[in-house]
Amino acid sequence: MTGTTAPRTDGRRVRSAPGRALRTRLLLFIGVTLVVVCAAMAVTTAYVQRAYMLNGLDGRVGDAAERSLSGAAAHPDRADDLTFLDRIGQPAGLLAARLDGDGSILTAAVVREGATPRNLTAAQRSALTGVVADGSMHTRTVPGLGTYRVGVLAADGTRVLTGLPMDGVRDMIGRLIVVDTLVAGAGLTVAGCVCAVVIRRQLRPLGRVAATAAEVSRTPLGHGDAAVLSRVPERDTDPRSEAGQVGAALNRLIDHVETSLAERRASEEQVRRSEERMRRFLADASHELRTPLASIAGYAELMNRGPGRVEPVLAWRRVSAESARMTGLVEDLLLLARLDEGRPLHAAEVDLAALVADAVWQARAADDGHDWQLDFRLDAPALVTGDAARLGQLVAVLLANARMHTPAGTRVVATVEAAAGRRVIRVRDDGPGIPPDLLPRVFERFTRADSSRTRAAGLAGGSGLGLAVAAAITAAHGGRIDVESAPGRTEFRVELPARGGGPGRDAAATDPHAVQDPHAVQDRPTGDRPTGGLIAPPRRPEAPSLP
C-alpha cells in the first residue's frame, strides 16, 4: 500500500506514512503491549526471585562463616589450620580460607562430597584475593569451581573467608526464566489468537458499514435514474456502540441523499413538463390566433376583388365572428396571465344562487336543445366574497363545456349548496363523459378532447382555455375545483369559502391593478334569492338574430 500525500499550511506537501488496516494496527498495538507487559513481568519475577535466593544463599554463607570462624578460633596459633572443614555436616562445595592481617590468603581448601577437603591452587586463591571483612557478601568466580558467594569474618585477630557455590541459584534462575518465557510465549499466542478473533468480530459491523459506504460511492448518483441506495443493516445501527453510531449516521446521510435526489428528479421532471407545456401553449396560442386572422384576411381579400365574389353582409358577419373569437382568446390569455401574477380580484358580496340561476337562464336562452335544471340545497344564504363577473364567467364556462361536449337532449343540472364555512357549485350532466386519458389534465391550458388543431363546424371558441380559466378563477377566490367523470355522468365541483373567507375587500378596492371586468354582472336583490328545490329556468324570449 502506497503512502498518501497530506497538505501543509506552508503550501508544500509531505509524504505520510503507509497506511494499514485498523484490524492490523490494533493487533500490532495489542501484541506489542502484551509482549512488553510479559517481558516486564518476566524480568521483574526473575529479579525478585534472584534477590530472594541470593538472600537465602547469603544467610547460609553467613552461617557457614560463623562456624568456620568458631573452628579457626579454637587454634589461633595455627594460621594454616583448616581442620574445621573435616567436621561432619559440612556441605559439599564449601570453600574456606585463613587470612593474615593484610588480607592475604594463608591457606584455602574446598569440601568435596565423599572425600577429604582439597587445597586450592594458586590461581584459585588468586581469584579470592581482595575480599575484606566489611560485613557484606561478594561474588567471585573461582577457576575450576564456578561462581561463589563469599564473605570474610574476623574475631580476635583471626580472619576466615567462607564461600558457597552459586550454581544452584543460577540454575534455578535459568529454569525460572525458561519457564517464564515458555508460559509468556504460550500466553501471548493464546492472547493474540483471542484478540484477533475478538477484534475481527467487533470490527465486523464496521466492515459492513464500510462495504455499504463503498457500494453507495460506486452508485452513479449523477444520473437521474439512480436506483435505491443500499442501507446499513439494522443490527449494525445500535447507538450503544461506536460502529452502530457510524452506521446510523451513514443511513441518515443516505436518506438525505435519496431525498435530495428525489427532489432533484421531481424538479427536473417539473421543469421538463413546464417546458413541454410552454411549447405546447405557444404552438396552440399561435394557431388559435392565426386561424381567425387567416379567415379575416381571406374575407378581406375576397371583398377587395369585388362585390360579386362574396356577399358583403356574409363577409362582415364572418369577419365579426372571427374578430370576436380572437378577442375572446386574447382576453382569456390576458386574464390567465393576470391571475398567474397573483393580482387581487375585485371583492364584493356575491349571491351564488342568483348568479347560477342567471347563468343557467342565459345558457337555456342560448341553447334550448339541452335539458337545463337548477337544484338549490340551501340551509343558509349562498353568499361569498369575490368578483361577481369572474364567478359568473366561471359558471358560464362550466355550462358551456357541458353544452359543447354533450349531444342534444342531455340533461344538465346546476346545483348550489351551502355547507358550514363553504359554498359549493356543482354542474352535472348525463353525457358521454370525459375520456380517461384526458381527465388528469382537463384543467390544463389548451386541453381539448380533439388533440388536433382542427375543429368541426359550430365549435368555434373551443380553444381549450375555458376550464383553465375556471380553475384559475377558483384558485384566485381561495377555492378548489375538481371533476368526476364516467360514461353517463360527469360532475364539476367548485368549492368556495363562505362570505368573509375570500379575497379582502379593502385590498382589492384600493389596488389599481385588480382584475376587473367592465361588463360586471350586478347582483340580484336579496329578496329574489332562490332557497331550494329542483327547477327548470323559464325560457327567455328569443333574441332577434343579427341581419
Domain ranges of the chain: 23-174, 344-535
**β 371-377/411-419 pair status:** parallel
Question: How large is the average pLDDT for residues 239-262?
Answer: 79
pLDDT single digits (tens) 283-338: 767 766 777 777 777 777 777 776 666 677 777 777 787 777 777 777 777 777 77
Q: Which alpha helices (DSSP H) does 74-142 contain, by range? A: 122-127
Residues 6+ apart with CB under 8 A from 500: 385
pLDDT single digits (tens) 71-82: 777 676 676 667
Class of domain 344-535: alpha beta
Residue 27 has pLDDT above 60, yes or no: yes
Q: What is the CA radius of gyration of the chain?
A: 58
Q: Which helix (H) or strand (E) holds 5?
A: strand 5-7
Identify the band that residue 512 occupies on the pLDDT scale cut at 50, 70 and 90.
Answer: very low
**β 105-112/95-99 pair status:** antiparallel
**Within this chain, domains 23-174 and 344-535 share the same CATH topology:** no
DSSP 413: E
* 49-63, 106-120, 220-234: range with lowest mean pLDDT: 220-234
Residue 356 has a pLDDT of 93
* 241-250, 297-306, 442-451, 458-467: range with lowest mean pLDDT: 458-467
Domain 23-174 has CATH 3.30.450: yes
Give the dihedral sign, CA 7/8/14/15.
Answer: negative
Identify the band that residue 520 occupies on the pLDDT scale cut at 50, 70 and 90.
Answer: very low
d(CA 444, CA 388): 24
pTM above 0.75, yes or no: no
Residue 513 has pLDDT above 50, yes or no: no
Whole-number percent of the chain with pLDDT over 70: 79
